[in-house]
């Protein structure tokens, strides 16, 4: 009897211990679940779209854009300062979600901006410029560009204001405030942010708040140069969205051309602007679907795509560019110009992807 009582007591203690362990596991699981649900609620509540709005102009000049003289335009996707040649990005299947360090961001800025400064563009359009973001170690890249080009009038439009993204878990992408910068040696009389359509599914949480900025510059013949800075969608599950964005853009541009204005859009179109870049650069992009050619009929009469073929403007970032001869490269950066603009030349500047996953593109034109 005594032994039976002892066994019963021991079994009771053992049962209580197991119960405590199970309760502890359940409590941890519940806590994790509450945190996860709370985070999802936070992201959904924090998400918003900015919409159309007038933009602040930092005016540094009163000059009009001359008609009949050659002008230089440069467009450049800075890639938030992270993309040195050995950097790969998690959303492309690569390793990293953040720049290596603030020092690396500043190094990439210095290298890229020095090359751009050397061609002294009259107009500079820059995309993926962080104002304050975890991914770029809170370096104010907008301030760096403004310091580098202090005599230019300037406009900044936000196209990414995200809550803290807790992915990838080992090094979260974090919170981002980022946008597109327009610099002009000429007076900007008016600037506006125009919101673009994006996906309505949960994919919207990982895409930018797509927009383009419109800057109006007086010309010496009494008209206006209407300048568009664009960065269209790449990461979409529905390819129709990017086409809708492009359709809205060209519709706006066509309306301005019909008023007699000079119309130029520049930036990262996330479209294969050469139709099939593999024919030019010898690297097949069959397994990559994010950059398709512009569909026939989207670009109306009166507007022309101007894109360089001397060197690619963009590399895929699923892997490092170092020792990767089969890295997919293509041209997605370039310009759309109206038929009252004469294009003298267009070329990719030889940055060799040293400071971004994009190379700058320079176009020389004459208004009229």
Complete DSSP assignment for 240-262? HHHHHHHHHHHHHHHHHHHTT-E
Distance CA 252, CA 248 (A): 6
Most distant CA atoms of the chain, gap in Å: 112
The residues, ordered by sequence, that sit 6+ positions from 63 with a Cβ below 8 Å of its Cβ are: 185, 186, 187
Tell me what pLDDT residue 15 has.
Answer: 66
pLDDT at 36 over 70: no
% of residues, the chain, pLDDT over 90: 71
Beta-carbon count within 10 A of 156 CB: 22
Complete DSSP assignment for 158-212? EEEEEEEE--STTS--EEEEEEEEEEESS---EEEEEE----SSGGGGTS---EE
Q: Flag the least confident range among 46-50, 202-206, 344-348.
A: 202-206
Cβ atoms of 191 and 182 within 8 Å: the answer is yes
The residues, ordered by sequence, that sit 6+ positions from 256 with a Cβ below 8 Å of its Cβ are: 224, 226, 263, 338
- Report yes or no on whether pTM surpasses 0.85: yes
pLDDT at 38 over 90: no
Distance CA 118, CA 285 (A): 32
Instruction: Look at the block and give the residue holding tokens 């049962």.
Output: 15
Number of H-type helices and E-type strands within the chain: 5, 16
pLDDT tens digits along 294-318: 999 999 999 999 999 999 999 999 9
Tell me what pLDDT residue 24 has.
Answer: 72
Residues 50-367, CATH architecture: 4-Layer Sandwich (3.60)
* Beta pairing, strands 224-231 & 262-268: parallel
Average of pLDDT values for 163-171? 84
Cβ atoms of 338 and 219 within 8 Å: the answer is no
Cβ atoms of 236 and 207 within 8 Å: the answer is yes
Of 114, 365, 73, the C-alpha closest to 215 is: 73
Distance CA 71, CA 97 (A): 38
Cβ atoms of 226 and 218 within 8 Å: the answer is no
User: Residue 183 pairs with which residues in a beta bridge?
Assistant: 124, 154
Distances (CA, A) of 104 to 89, 107, 146, 357: 15, 5, 19, 14
CA torsion through residues 361, 364, 367, 368, sign: negative
Tell me what pLDDT residue 42 has.
Answer: 47
Confidence category of residue 166, pLDDT binned at 50, 70, 90:
confident
């Amino acid at each position: 009897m005594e032994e039976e009582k002892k066994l019963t007591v021991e079994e009771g203690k053992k049962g209580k211990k197991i119960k405590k362990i199970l309760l502890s596991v359940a409590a941890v699981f519940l806590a994790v679940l509450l945190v996860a649900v709370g985070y999802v609620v936070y992201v959904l509540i924090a998400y918003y779209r900015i919409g159309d709005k007038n933009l602040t102009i930092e005016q540094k000049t009163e000059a009009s854009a001359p008609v009949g003289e050659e002008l230089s335009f440069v467009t450049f996707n800075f890639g938030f300062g992270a993309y040195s040649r050995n950097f790969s990005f998690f959303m492309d299947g690569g390793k990293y979600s953040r720049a290596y360090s603030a020092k690396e961001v500043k190094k990439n800025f210095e290298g890229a901006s020095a090359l751009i400064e050397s061609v002294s563009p009259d107009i500079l359009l820059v995309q993926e410029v962080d104002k304050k973001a975890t991914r770029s170690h809170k370096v104010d890249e907008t301030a760096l560009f403004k310091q580098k080009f202090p005599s230019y009038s300037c406009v900044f439009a936000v196209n990414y204001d995200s809550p803290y993204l807790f992915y990838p878990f080992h090094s979260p992408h974090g919170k981002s405030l980022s946008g597109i910068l327009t610099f002009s040696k000429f007076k900007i009389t008016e600037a506006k942010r125009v919101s673009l359509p994006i996906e309505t599914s949960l994919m919207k949480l990982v895409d930018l708040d797509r927009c383009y900025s419109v800057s109006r510059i007086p010309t010496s013949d009494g008209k206006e140069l209407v300048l568009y800075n664009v960065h269209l969608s790449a990461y979409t599950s529905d390819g129709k969205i990017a086409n809708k964005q492009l359709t809205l853009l060209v519709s706006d541009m066509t309306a301005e051309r019909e008023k007699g204005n000079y119309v130029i859009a520049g930036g990262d179109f996330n479209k294969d602007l050469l139709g099939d870049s593999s024919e030019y650069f010898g690297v097949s992009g069959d397994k990559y679907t994010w950059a398709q050619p512009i569909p026939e009929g989207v670009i109306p009469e009166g507007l022309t795509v101007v894109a360089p073929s001397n060197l690619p403007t963009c590399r895929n970032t699923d892997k490092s560019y170092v020792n990767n001869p089969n890295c997919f490269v293509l041209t997605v950066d370039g310009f759309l110009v109206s038929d009252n603009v004469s294009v003298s030349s267009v070329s990719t500047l030889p940055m060799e992807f040293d400071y971004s996953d994009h190379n700058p593109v320079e176009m020389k034109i004459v208004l009229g």
